Amino acid sequence: MLLAETSRTPAPAAAPDAEDWRELASCRGVASSVFFSPDGERGHARARREANAQQICQDCPVLAQCRDHALAADEPYGIWGGMTEADRRRHARRLRSDSHR
């Protein structure tokens, strides 16, 4: 059932909020299997899938927002903002190491 609209005036254009970046991502509509590994994936198959995912991320207009989200949320799986799981772990170790100096 549809509710009757109370106003015909369009909402003013607003700056995108923190979650709107996902709507603009280059990966929108791409199968999640490109970005997340199946159980047991190793070696060349994993490297090939990760390279394909990173290629999609390369020119993404919201790459920085995606990467920032993954780092802030400590995403444990998948390619986010062009970073693999291992890339994010290395980044976190570097930050911890730098903060102890």
Q: Which amino acid is at 7?
A: S
21 annotated as belonging to a binding site for a ligand: no
DSSP 34: G
Q: Is 27 annotated as a binding residue?
A: yes
- For residue 57, say whether it is annotated as part of any ligand binding site: yes
| 46 labeled binding residue | no
| Number of CB atoms found within 10 A of residue 84's CB | 19
Binding site residues for [4Fe-4S] cluster, as ranges? Answer: 27, 57, 60, 66
